[in-house]
């Protein structure tokens, strides 16, 4: 079975996504999918997620981000292609 080519995506998540465990949720979902990258809070209240991996796994992550953790209220997820950068895992940045 041929390996899928890697892709990279940048997601900007808006809504009630800070102070509700969103970064930990995103990290857990990305780890389950075997993706690499980071998640961090932005000063404007959004959360930024950068992930690299196979396109189907990136789609699975996007779906998880749209759902969010229990106490979040995701109002929108902006998704854009990104340049592939190398990360050793998926981390929470501060």
Assigned domain for 42 exists: yes
Assigned domain for 51 exists: yes
Active site residues: 23, 41
Q: How far is residue 84's CA from residue 6's CA, in Å, rounded to a whole number?
A: 8
pLDDT of residue 3: 64
Q: Which of the four pLDDT bands, split at 50, 70 and 90, describes residue 94?
A: confident
CATH code for position 32: 3.30.70.100
Assigned domain for 79 exists: no
pLDDT of residue 28: 98
Domain boundaries, position 25: 19-71
Residue pLDDT, tens place only, 50-85 = 999 999 999 999 999 999 999 999 999 999 999 999
Q: How far is residue 44's CA from residue 92's CA, in Å, rounded to a whole number?
A: 18
β-strand pairing of 73-81 with 7-16: antiparallel
Total domain count, the chain? 1
Q: How far is residue 53's CA from residue 4's CA, in Å, rounded to a whole number?
A: 9
Assigned domain for 80 exists: no
Tokens coding 62: 């996007």
């Amino acid at each position: 079975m041929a390996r899928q080519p890697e892709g990279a995506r940048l997601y900007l998540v808006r809504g009630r996504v800070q102070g509700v465990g969103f970064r930990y949720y995103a990290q857990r979902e990305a780890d389950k999918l075997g993706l690499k990258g980071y998640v961090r809070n932005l000063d404007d209240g959004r959360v930024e997620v950068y992930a690299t991996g196979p396109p189907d796994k990136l789609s699975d992550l996007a779906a998880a981000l749209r759902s969010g953790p229990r106490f979040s209220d995701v109002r929108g997820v902006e998704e854009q292609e990104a340049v592939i950068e190398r990360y050793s895992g998926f981390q929470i940045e501060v």
